[in-house]
Structures are given as C-alpha cells and as structure tokens.
Amino acid sequence: MSDNPSTPTLLDFIQRLPKAELHLHIEGTLEPELIFQLAQRNGIALPYASIDALRAAYQFEDLQSFLDLYYAGASVLITENDFYDMTMAYMRRAQQDGIVHAEIMFDPQTHTQRGVSIQTVFSGIARALREMRNTAGISSYLILSFLRHLSEEEAQTTLTAALALREQYADLWLAIGLDSAERGNPPEKFARVYARCKELGFRLTAHAGEEGPASYVRDALDLLQVERVDHGVRSEEDPALMQRLINDAIPLTVCPLSNLKLCVVDDMQQHNLARMLQQGALVTVNSDDPAYFGGYVADNYLACAEYLNLGRKELAELARNSLLASFLPANEKDHHLELLAAMLDQADLPDDMQ
Ligand code: HPA
Ligand SMILES: [Zn+2]
C-alpha cells in the first residue's frame, strides 16, 4: 500500500472522518508485544520463543483456527491493570484513526473460566474508557458478549454475575452481544437469554452470517430480536433477507480485513461490502480483532478504497453509517453528523465527491 503515492492523502482523509467503531473485541486488540509484556509481568510462560514467532503464527484458515489463538492470547490478562493497559492501548490507537465513539465487545467468560473475577474485567476496561472520555473526549459503550460455544446456562450465570455490577457501570454497559464459534451454535440456543436481556432494557446485537448461513441472520432478528447484526455478510445469499435489512435499515457491522484473514472471502476484490452499500444497506466498516487481522479501522477503510474502488464520497457515507448505526442518543449522533458534514465542506474534495 505504501507504494501508492496517493495513499498518505487518502489515509489522512479517512483518519479525519469522524466515525464510530461498532465491532471490536477488546481481547482482539492485544498486540503480540503486549502479550509478551503481560506474560512476563504475570509470570506466565508462552509457547512462543519471540514476539515475531507469535505474530508469524497468525495464519488462519477459518474462525476456529483464529479463536484458538485468541483465547490463548487472552490468558495473559490477570489483573485490573492488565485490562486497563489493553484498553488504553486500543483507545489511543482508535484516536489516531479518528474514532469519536467506540462500542466495545468484551467476553467475561474468557476470563471468569480462568479464575479472573468479573469485577476485575469490568473495572480495568471501564477505568481506561472513562479516562479517555475525560481526557480525549472519545465516548464509548460496552457490549457484554456471550461465548456461543458455551451453554445457555453458563450465559445466564454470567449475566446474573454481571447484573450485580450494572449500576456501577451504567454509563458504559448498555448492550449485549454473541460471539465465538458460529457454526453449530445457532441463535436459537440463546433465545431465552436474549429475551431476559431485552426485558432488562439492554440494546441487542449478535454475530451472524460470518461463517454461518443467512438463516442465522434471520434467526438473530426474529428469535433474538437484535437491532444490529455483526458481520452479516452472508445475508446476500437470501435476497428476501437482504431486502428486509435494507427496508428496515438494520445495520451490518462488517469487518473486511477480518473476513479476508478468516477466509470468509478469498480475496478483497470479491468482498460484497461495496455491493451491499450500493444496494442501500446500512453497512459499516470495523476492525473486529485488529491485532490479529493486520489492521485497525482506518486500514479497513483504506482496504475498501483500494480493492473495492470506493471513493471519498463512499468512505464518508460509511463513516456516516457508523454514526447512524451506533447506540448513541439522537442528540449525540446529530452532533457528530454535523462535525462530519463540516469536515466534508472544508475538505479539498476531488472529482469523485461531486
Ligand atoms: O470475528 C469473530 N467472530 C466470532 N467470534 C469472535 N470473537 C472474536 N472475534 C470474533
Ligand atoms: Zn467479531
């Protein structure tokens, strides 16, 4: 990418677009350097000789081959400070990319299963998010995500434990998600958990249609009552479903570099993001697990520009979609949308903005 002389300018334009990141697993932001640092701090032996050796292992053939390394990487997180350091590193990086608001998924079960308390997890992540809100003006929400390869009962137990902390983290924790191995773990497995969460007033999202079929997207909408779908790229396989997503303006939080790394698409040119955008779907661009997939949010926008021929107009539309698809209240959305419009007014717009 650095061979292209226009890249710095386009990257600068992308980074200056006020935008939200809506699909980001905080455990997926642990860079190999930080994994090694935390392992050393906590006296944990890693099965890799060096940072480079760990990074070299990031060659995935599907979602499960990634998840195995992702859970192993997360095992270095022990103390409140570890969760704080990880979250601060991500937020500083997001600031560089022009993120004005982040909706961040975290997987408590990944940690409670190892004996780390749910309070430690919440506390470290929240301390960093509040600090960045106060010092950098970047807002954020937390999406507590259940691991779908575990049982419904384990999700219910996790929810009950988290609810004891709800008041303490009411400024951040307002949504529920569902992640991990999709195939064989359909939405219906968590219908009762989601019904309970809806009753409790949480905003709802779930991964669907990443590796799983389009029917999982439909079931996430009908059985889980989600407002937003994480990934959802396989929705196109069912034209009636696609039309419903467009008509009802249901956001898809798409992660192009993730899809490439996990072989959901064979190459970037074949990604359906641009096609869905042109059809009128409310698609957004996000980084998923940036430390593992080779790029943060601006890298994902840049890949779309480069391989899907998106111009500045479309990139701005994606940024606008990210604000519209966020769980922010209307007045805060409007504020960011006005700043986006002002930035576009001032930008030295090339022909493709006409
Ligand atoms: O891309 C993903 N899909 C499912 N589960 C995940 N957990 C972290 N990243 C992912
Ligand atoms: Zn994800």
**Within a domain: residue 350?**
no
The percent of residues above 90 in pLDDT, for the chain, comes to 95
| pLDDT number for residue 347 | 84
Domain CATH code at residue 312: 3.20.20.140
pLDDT, tens digit, 9 for 90 and up, residues 223-271: 999 999 999 999 999 999 999 999 999 999 999 999 999 999 999 999 9
**Within a domain: residue 351?**
no
The answer to whether the pTM exceeds 0.90 is: yes
The percent of residues above 70 in pLDDT, for the chain, comes to 96
**Within a domain: residue 327?**
yes
Query: How many secondary structure helices (H) and strands (E) does the chain include?
Result: 17, 8
**Within a domain: residue 348?**
no
d(CA 266, CA 343): 35
d(CA 297, CA 210): 18
Tokens standing for residue 62: 């599907």
Q: What mean pLDDT value characterizes the chain?
A: 96
Tokens standing for residue 222: 């009908």
d(CA 160, CA 175): 15
Nearest CA to ligand 1 atom 7: 180
**Within a domain: residue 347?**
no
Structurally, how many domains does the chain consist of?
1
Tokens standing for residue 243: 């039309």
d(CA 94, CA 4): 24
> What are the E-state strand segments in the chain?
19-25, 99-106, 139-147, 173-179, 203-208, 228-231, 252-254, 283-285
Range of the structural domain that residue 231 is part of: 7-339
121 CB-side CA count, 13 A: 28
Q: Which DSSP state fits 289?
A: S
Q: Are 81 and 128 within 8 A, CB to CB?
A: no
Ligand 1 atom nearest to CA at 211: 3
Mean pLDDT along residues 40-57:
96
d(CA 317, CA 215): 28
| pLDDT number for residue 348 | 63
**Within a domain: residue 349?**
no
**Within a domain: residue 12?**
yes
d(CA 29, CA 235): 27
Residue 332, Cβ density class (10 Å: 0-12 exposed, 13-18 middle, ≥19 buried)? middle
Any idea how long the chain is?
354
Residues with catalytic roles? 210
Q: Which residues line ligand 1 (CB under 6 A)?
A: 25, 28, 63, 70, 179-180, 207, 210, 258, 288-289
Q: Which DSSP state fits 1?
A: -
d(CA 218, CA 262): 22
DSSP state string for 44-87: ---S-SSHHHHHHT---SSHHHHHHHHHHHHTT--SHHHHHHHH
**Within a domain: residue 353?**
no
Residue 5 has pLDDT above 70, yes or no: no
d(CA 121, CA 119): 5
Ligand 1 atom nearest to CA at 179: 5
Mean pLDDT along residues 31-41:
98
Query: Ligand 1: which of 26, 105, 185, 210 to mutate, most ligand atoms within 8 Å of CB?
Result: 210
| pLDDT number for residue 354 | 39
Q: Are 313 and 352 within 8 A, CB to CB?
A: yes
Q: Are 337 and 267 within 8 A, CB to CB?
A: no
Tokens standing for residue 277: 């955008």
Ligand number nearest CA of 182 is 1
Q: Are 289 and 25 within 8 A, CB to CB?
A: yes
Mean pLDDT along residues 138-144:
99
Helix (H) or strand (E) segment spanning residue 256: helix 256-261
pLDDT, tens digit, 9 for 90 and up, residues 88-126: 999 999 999 999 999 999 999 999 999 999 999 999 999
Å from CA of 343 to ligand 1 middle: 33
Å from CA of 69 to ligand 2 middle: 14
Residue 47 has a CB neighbour count (10 Å cut-off) of: 8
Ligand number nearest CA of 24 is 2
